[in-house]
Structure 1
Amino acid sequence: MRFQQVYYEYQGKILRYLTRMVGENEAEDLTQEVFVKIGQALETFRGESSLSTWIYQIATNAALDKLRHPFNCHAGGKLLPVEAITETKEDENIWTGEVMASTEQRVIRQEMNGCIREIIQTLPETYRSVIVLSELEGLSDAEIADILGLTLQATKIRLHRARARLRKELSSACIFYRDDRQEFACDRKAAQAD
């Protein structure tokens, strides 16, 4: 496969993935670094895993290196704005892929998605990476294991723990309910005074 084809097919996906991992301020530069590495190594790709897995592995390693760098603090300490991680369709829900029916519904979903993304950003990097790869990028456990260099069993355990931690963080930060249309919704809990 030629580099131009790889770039065209994966650039948007990797930019979105890296935005979820390191934040908007770092994602564009990091995406370019990833594609430079891909361009340099594409001829030596042996096909031991799928091309997609190989590309995500390069992107994940770059993101983890960036997150471990002592001068990096989640995009300069800023949480991601709601607009930073939208899918290719402007009104598409990141969890279900469905297009929102009304402006009100879209705003509520954007707020809810933004809240969830903020909580994901606070997870430890090991949990954040498996949550993003599984729940937001839609990769299989086996693909995630290849990308992260873990056994399948270790990946399943980490994903289970990450989901449990995310569930705990969400339940401590949000109130979940069904709205008047019987759709799932949440609101932030009021901050408790110490």
Structure 2
Amino acid sequence: MNDLPDELLLQRWQQDDKPAGKELYRRYFPVVRRYFYNKAGSDECDDLVGATFLRCHQGLQTFRGEASFKTFILKVARNVFADHCRRRAHHRKHLAGVTPSSDEVSARDLAKSPFSIVADGQQARLLLEGLRTLPLEIQELLELFYWEELSGSEIASVLEIPEGTVRSRLKSARRQLTERLEQLAGSPEELASTLSDLDGWARKIRAGMNRTPE
């Protein structure tokens, strides 16, 4: 089962083959968990992962294979998180009488820093915190690029925007991340070390999050 391609497993799962669904869950649990990892609190992350796979199963018959299963399940995760953010925003409005606009809300506004840091080094902690201070849409874009290593067309599919827009937004997003890291860094040396190898630190963080369920 574990040597079958996603497409065949998906076809079998659509026909109610439970072992095929279990194998897709095993493969994509780390992907979905990474999506939520730096956006939600540790007490919320597992619930959001579970809700994503449940909604994915409920929507199986709507998937026609126009894109990869990875982009499909990331779209589902994105919708689950959007619903989560709306609930949190409604709660904040109820408590404070005001709701910030969606382009102002960051992960740091929504939840405390999740879990223990998953990669060694102050540079990894700096990168995680820098991402969390950005508006959620920018954080999401950068994490899809750095952590999931998606192509421009794949990111466009997940975010449902033109590929050209992805390229222009990535350029702006990298600039904003650099500005946040400059504000957060404890020393010029720490900043230089982080900025010199963003791809490398992102890979180390990704490796630390790759916990697969038993």
TM class, shorter-length? 0.7 to 0.9
Alpha-carbon offset, residue 119 of structure 1 = 1.6
Using the alignment, how far apart are the partners of 1:40 and 1:185 within structure 2? 41
Partner residue, 1:147: 158
SS in 1 for 2:39: helix
| Aligned pairs for 1:37-116 within 5 A | 37-69=55-87, 70=89, 71=91, 74=108, 77-83=111-117, 86=118, 106=120, 109=121, 111-116=122-127
1:63 aligned partner, one-letter code: F
- TM-score with structure 1 setting the length: 0.72
Greater CA drift, 113-122 or 69-78: 69-78
Change (3 A) 1:139 1:176: farther
How much does 1:7 deviate? Answer: 0.7
- Distance in 2 of aligned mates of 1:139 and 1:176: 31
Q: By percentage of residues, which structure has more helix?
A: 2
Please name the residue that 1:100 is paired with. none
Deviations 1:116-165 (A, max 9, x none): 21121110011011011111221111111100100001111111111110
Matched AA of 1:79: S
Query: Equivalences for 1:116-155 in 2 at 5 Å?
Result: 116-155=127-166
Q: Distance in 1 between matches of 2:173 and 2:41?
A: 19
* AA at the equivalent of 1:23: G
Asked if 1:184 corresponds to 2:202, the answer is: no
Q: 1:143 to 1:172 in 2, by over 3 A?
A: same
- Number of residues paired by the alignment? 159
Residue identity opposite 1:30 in structure 2 = L
Cα distance between partner residues in 1 of 2:124 and 2:150: 20
* Mapped partners of 1:60, 1:161: distance in 2: 21
Gaps of 5+ in 1: 87-92, 94-105, 187-194
Amino acid at match of 1:132: E
Question: C-alpha distance in 1, partners of 2:151/2:40?
Answer: 22
Q: Deviations over 1:81-108 (max 9, x none)?
A: 443xx3xxxxxx5xxxxxxxxxxxx4xx
Per the normalisation by structure 2, the TM-score is 0.66
Which amino acid letter does the alignment assign opposite residue 112 of structure 2? K
Higher strand share: 1
- Structure 1 residue 167: Cα displacement: 0.4
Q: Which residue of the partner structure matches residue 183 of structure 2?
A: 172
Cα distance in 2 for partners of 1:169, 1:75 equals: 15
Q: Distance in 1 between matches of 2:58 and 2:73?
A: 12
- Taking a change above 3 Å as real, the CA distance of residues 39 and 129 of structure 1, as seen in their structure-2 partners, is same
Q: Which has the higher contact order (CA 8 A, sep 6+)?
A: 2
Deviation at 1:49, TM superposition (A): 0.8
Q: Percent identity?
A: 26
